[in-house]
């Protein structure tokens, strides 16, 4: 995308995004704390909505392109966009929660994958690698690097650990709109795309499969699953490009990222 289409945030806008990011991160943490055997995804979604609204914000996802929930809650082979409902979580599940909050004209957007009780070593490794791939990627989220440098680092780390990166869905700019330019892919060669500049705000979100990277969207038009039925994980934060290290915007008041 052309650089002029990418929004560079002012100091006032950055502070508004920090506020939205804190609420979003706290909603993610609340959801994570609720993931236990017997809890329904609807119960988690309801708690997320009430929390966000209690802070004067609106759930970014509720009604977005018709999405019926306040959080995307995706279990096991579901990569993203799982619709909350009566499903009860079971021991051994891994559960991805993606949330957004809109306040003061700006969005926060973040996700994480959590263990439901005791999980397999493979599942734990998948969660850990997915989260670490985000941190590997944002080592290059610095002024002067290119957008594709982030995704290249994510892909290298994920594949070095025996997993694969989803190609059909990508990260994105975030700000006054939930999805803004540029696309932030989790794969591909380095050295391409717009150069990163201070004031850019990006949602970096590795989506990782234990097996093959191919996915399909189910008949509900939202829930996206691994084509081979393998386990999947998702991790995301909204970040700010600065003159130095990137700043994580979706962080709780006590400094937590999950």
Peptide bond into 182 cis (omega under 30): yes
Q: Is residue 32 in a domain?
A: yes
Q: What is the pLDDT of residue 1?
A: 39
Residue range 131-157: average pLDDT? Answer: 98
Is residue 189 one of the residues assigned to a domain?
A: yes
Asked whether the predicted pLDDT for residue 144 surpasses 90, the reply is: yes
Report the alpha-carbon distance of residue 151 to residue 208 in Å, rounded: 12
Indicate whether 258 pLDDT > 90.
no
Q: What is the dihedral of CA 258, 68, 109, 117, to 10 degrees?
A: 10
* Residue 254, in any domain of the structure: no
Query: Does 1 reside within a domain?
Result: no
CATH code, 180: 3.90.230.10
For residue 80, tell me if it sits in a domain: yes
Categorize the per-residue pLDDT at 257 as very low, low, confident or very high, splitting at 50, 70 and 90.
Answer: confident
- Count the domains in the chain: 1
pLDDT recorded at residue 4: 52
Domain extent for 19: 6-248
Q: What is the pLDDT of residues 199-244, one digit of tens each?
A: 999 999 999 999 999 999 999 999 999 999 999 999 999 999 999 9
In a domain, residue 161? The reply is yes
pLDDT band at 2 (very low <50, low <70, confident <90, very high): very low
Q: Is residue 253 part of a domain?
A: no
Instruction: With a cut of 90, say whether residue 153 has pLDDT above it.
Output: yes
- What would the two tokens of residue 60 be? 């970014």
Residue 109 located in a structural domain: yes
The verdict on pTM exceeding 0.95 is yes
Average pLDDT over every residue of 135-153: 98
């Amino acid at each position: 995308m052309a650089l002029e289409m990418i929004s560079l945030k002012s100091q006032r806008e950055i502070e508004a995004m920090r506020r939205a990011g804190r609420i979003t991160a706290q909603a993610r943490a609340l959801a994570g704390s609720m993931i236990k055997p017997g809890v329904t995804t609807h119960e988690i979604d309801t708690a997320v909505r009430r929390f966000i609204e209690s802070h004067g914000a609106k759930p970014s996802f509720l009604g977005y392109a018709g999405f019926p929930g306040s959080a995307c809650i995706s279990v096991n082979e579901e990569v993203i966009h799982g619709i909350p409902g009566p499903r009860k979580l079971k021991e051994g599940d891994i559960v991805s929660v993606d949330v957004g909050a809109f306040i003061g004209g700006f969005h926060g957007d973040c996700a994480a994958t959590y263990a439901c009780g005791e999980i397999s070593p493979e599942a734990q490794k998948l969660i850990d690698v997915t989260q670490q791939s985000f941190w590997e990627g944002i080592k290059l989220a610095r002024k002067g690097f290119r957008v594709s440098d982030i995704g290249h680092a994510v892909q290298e780390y994920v594949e070095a650990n025996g997993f694969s990166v989803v190609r059909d869905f990508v990260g994105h700019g975030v700000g006054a709109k939930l999805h803004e330019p540029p696309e932030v892919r989790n794969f591909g060669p380095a050295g391409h795309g717009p150069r990163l500049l201070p004031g850019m705000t990006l949602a970096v979100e590795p989506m990782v499969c234990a097996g093959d990277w191919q996915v399909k969207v189910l008949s509900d038009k939202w829930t996206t699953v691994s084509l081979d039925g393998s386990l999947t994980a998702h991790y995301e934060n909204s970040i700010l490009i600065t003159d130095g290290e990137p700043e994580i915007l979706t962080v709780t008041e006590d400094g937590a990222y999950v």
